[in-house]
Structure 1
């Protein structure tokens, strides 16, 4: 018994009842328009004085409601109401306007169903409770018999009068059952009529992919510029601490290098954020490139104690801007990895091939035995970031031991990039 009462009068049932009454309220303007049509056709002066004419006006108004459901905000508003009042999960319903003819047709069917059932339940909610209340109190208040309510004569005496309270309660339960049944029907049909179409799912997937791409790009940029700077600063500070008393001149140079590295890193962070905005903000520092910033990168790395030799078989200034920018980040990440194995010289080679590719090679001895870098929480993303950059440009990347050396070899196409 408790379960039945919860089903008829519980919180979900009440919210669905409110949803139906909202549908009835939305149906009223269409009913008024229908009455303007039905009145002249039937010659009636008072359409709302007859139940049959009211139902006729309601029947005329529903097609008008279906026609107006093509308004773009209809589906988002109806979906929001269903999520809030009908207990339907958000992922089962579409968020945006209907884009296809089939989706607009389903939205029209839903809107008509909502207004139709809502109009019926709203009318019952207005008329049934007062009449049921009269039946419940009829045996107690005899004066009701003489009121202008026009009660049927058989209710004035005998067994009908004794059973009228039961009939009143039964009418209220029947109203609640109708409301609960219509609410459950709408909740069941909502995913089918208001659910996302394949086009909606594709658009949502594309939006999620675009958001993920932006996040991955931000992670790559921050990892490369900040990771390199922190590696260099850590080594410079460590070296300065060891010779603090014996070599003050070296300490001054190390502190100057740390100052320069941090200043440039702040500028690179500004450039990263500028790239990710919709157009670079005024005053944003340009992103570093091989043409403009390779020499400074090599100098700062050497100042951190890393031996680096560079062989440039091509002019960095002749590279397309996109290739120059991404290649700079690749070199930066390669040098960051080398800094974690301080003391091992790195050989950097840049060359342009006859088939229109930039070849970038970085090598350093593995050593015997190879020294493992100090473990870093969350580390190990550098090579993945290099692979992502190379893949986006349509190039290839190989990294791993080659004999007694660690070798990073990257090929980036020059044609088709700007």
Structure 2
């Protein structure tokens, strides 16, 4: 029983209840400008100078002030301000409240309802908090102060001349009533806040779109880092391993391998700067301070093939530009993504392959010139060499290549294929739509 009493007292006078009481007082204070404006309007209509001298006119001014408050609550910033106060003072978890300004009229209407409820109920509790304690103190001390016994108390409903010794009980009852009303009003607002200030369907959709955009940026950076740095590390590892094996017998090859390593790392630093430039795009810059633009099929394919060959893997490249004439006429985004897909395919071949790589890059005409697509096909023997593992599925790099193609409306296929009787090869095939014509 004692535990229940303590819990009841904490519910009425605990820290959370006191914070909610403060929240109600703030609501009453926020209503005051609206009430003063409504008081002027009511005094003009009623033809009286002091509205507060009449209970009826006071409540009329209170009623007029609430629609005025509701009208001003349609401004978008009212919701984040109200939600912040509710989180801090009402004990409502933040995840149950909407983030940011109200975007839709539905959200603004709900915010307006909350604002009116908060200010209206807060004004009542504020008035009680100002009036009840002094009156209760007078009633409690009334039997002990002779001079107060002949003074009318309240609004005429209690006279000190009749049963004055019952006044303390009435004073205590008034204080208890104030505490109960404040606790009930605070609990009402705490329950109403998630309903009126919670996220609407539009807010949930906007939050989902924002999360999707953030995830897309993270995936984009992950793809760029994997393709740029991963390929370079694979090539450098193979070149260093080959140089170590012939360090004593073929110094010339070692020098060439070291030169290739130097060139690969230098270019990778430039590509890493380009990838870091993507991060700068999100903080208000346009990425114009990059030391090197992102690599493309037109400008960087030959260098990529040369560096990959320097790692010791023979590569045969077949390029069919079709009606494009050369790769410079490809759309810039297609040229960039195609380069990364080729780079990923070569990285896999260097890490897992055991023989020569055949690469086909061609522009295919689909539909009598109404639709063109860039097709990339790369084949190499499956990985069985020392330090390599046979692959049944692609890793992160192949998933990244598939995401790149999907962003352009294309697709990627990767897996083992039959190249002849008893012969199996690993094939990577990507198709990137170009539309009716190149630029």
> TM-score normalized by structure 2?
0.86
Given candidates 342, 347, 351, the residue that maps to 1:331 is 342
Structure 1 position 226, deviation (Å): 0.9
Check 1:132–1:107 CA distance in 2 against 1; reply closer, same or farther (3 A cut): same
Q: Distance in 1 between matches of 2:292 and 2:150?
A: 90
* Structure 2: runs of 5+ lacking an equivalent: 367-371, 419-423
- Aligned residue among 411, 420, 425 for 1:405: 425
Greater mean alpha carbon deviation, residues 102-111 or residues 19-28: 102-111
Q: Which residue of 2 aligns with 1:289?
A: 296
2:322 pairs with 1:308: no
- Show CA shifts across 1:324-371 (max 9, x none): 11110001011111111364221111122221222111111126x576
CA positional deviation for 1:169: 2.7
* In 2: Cα distance, 1:140 partner to 1:31 partner: 39
Matching residue of 2:421: none
Query: 1:197: Cα distance to partner?
Result: 2.0
Kept in 2, the 8 Å contact 1:305–1:343? The answer is: no
Instruction: Give unpaired runs (5+ residues) of structure 1.
Output: none
What's the CA shift string for 1:258-307, capped at 9, x where partnerless? 22111111111222233451633245421101111011111111222222
- Match in the other structure for 1:373: 388
Please tell me whether residue 94 in structure 1 is matched to residue 101 in structure 2. no
List 4+ stretches of structure 1 deviating above 6 A: 146-153
For the structure 1 residues 242 and 11, does the alpha-carbon distance in structure 2 shift closer, same or farther, using more than 3 Å as the test? farther
**What is the SS of the residue equivalent to 1:414?**
strand
The CA distance in 1 between the partners of 2:170 and 2:267, in whole Å, is 85
Q: Tell me the equivalent position of 1:358.
A: 374
Does the 8 A contact of 2:140 with 2:167 survive in 1? yes
**Aligned twin of 1:25:** 29
- 2:221–2:278: 8 Å Cα contact kept in structure 1? no
Greater alpha carbon shift after TM alignment, 407-416 vs 211-220: 407-416
Separation (CA, whole Å) in 1 of partners of 2:26 and 2:73:
16
Instruction: Give matches, 1:241-320, under 5 Å.
Output: 241-275=244-278, 277=281, 279-314=286-321, 315-320=326-331
Aligned to 1:218: 221
Name the structure 1 match of 2:400. 385
Equivalent of 1:175, from 172, 178, 181? 178
Residue in structure 1 matched with residue 369 of structure 2 by the alignment = none
